[in-house]
Structure 1
């Protein structure tokens, strides 16, 4: 497959993708994915909660904006713009948004459950 065949998946404009309202002050955009990788933008209003959960996927999250209290297993830490957290497979994790913020989440493999 050449690059031309991938251009509709490889060159992505934010304005072409609608936000999905998840309720309770959280919304997301699935920006790009294939079978092995997925990038998702997640927007949080102040005090919104990313409920503690786990999944088999590897996850890395970049704090693009705002401040979050991040729970990872038994640990908690406040992360701010420019910081990152890594959630290994099946480790419980979640966030509380301390000031309006945006996370950039990367999953391996992609989150099939997000596509349903």
Structure 2
């Protein structure tokens, strides 16, 4: 399924979407999006890094599996399955995966740079 197909889908099966390999133990699936909202599943191998970055989008991330050291601005905290972090607009943030894990990222508006 290509990304443009996702804009009109309302019922989406995980198995219908291929992983996009990002390298260094990180891969993602863009699960659904429209102009205002995007949900992305990101799989991390133990030790993989989500490099410190910022963006104009609001981001909510749910730890679906694993354990992550999360940096948000000047703060660091270890988050585990069931925990959430919120990245406000332009705040620098990133993760280090402490055990194999999956983040569910939600962006507003959608990340055009992912498409």
TM-score norm. by structure 2 comes to 0.93
Question: 1:18-47 deviations in whole A, cap 9, x for unaligned?
Answer: 000000000000000000000000000000
Equivalent position of 1:110 in the other structure: 110
State the distance in 1 between where 2:106 and 2:16 align: 20
Gaps of 5+ in 1: 1-5
Runs of 4+ with deviation above 4 angstroms = none
TM-score norm. by structure 1 comes to 0.93
State the distance in 2 between where 1:109 and 1:10 align: 18
State the distance in 1 between where 2:86 and 2:34 align: 20
5 Å-filtered alignment, 1:55-70, equals 55-70=55-70
The structure with more radius of gyration? 1
Aligned residues: 110
Gaps of 5+ in 2: 1-5
- The structure richer in helix per residue is 1
Equivalent position of 1:88 in the other structure: 88
